[in-house]
Amino acid sequence: MKDTMILKDGTAVELEAGASLGAIQVAALNKAEMLKTWEKLTGENLAEVKIQNGVGLTVGTYKDLVLVSETSVVAADGTVITKYCLREKTEVEKRLDNVEAGQAIQDEAIVDLGEVSSLLAEQIEGGEV
């Protein structure tokens, strides 16, 4: 049994080699299968990643990972070996994520206030206060 990387959405990716986050190797039957795996390595799915060994024991749990790069080699038979380089987000990246999340909440609140203000202005102009 091979090691497995479990993404946040539950996707299990069988590993050829996973000695470090910077050199995770995955085999695919063809380019299309490789692309399916690559497309799963989104920010959302990399927010929580577990590495399990061949007998299903979790040997690593990571949060807030980033895909730095991927390098693929296509064999003569069409199989593809891909090396994914992952790393944990820096403190600055984590802070920026928090700022952006806070800004999104503020933006929604401003829109809500604008709608309420418009409604009140219409009621005042119509004499319905």
pTM, 2 dp: 0.72
Same domain, 79 and 39: yes
Q: How crowded is residue 76: how many other Cβ atoms within 10 Å of its Cβ? A: 5
pLDDT score of 97: 72
**Amino acid at residue number 95:** R
What pLDDT score was predicted for residue 14?
Answer: 95
The domain in which residue 127 lies consists of 90-129
Q: How many domains does the chain divide into? A: 2
For the stretch 54-81, pLDDT in tens is 899 999 999 999 999 999 999 999 999 9
Same domain, 85 and 97: no
- CATH label of the domain that carries residue 72: 2.30.110.20
Residues 118 and 71 placed together within one structural domain of the fold: no
Same domain? For 19 and 81 the reply is: yes
Same domain, 9 and 65: yes
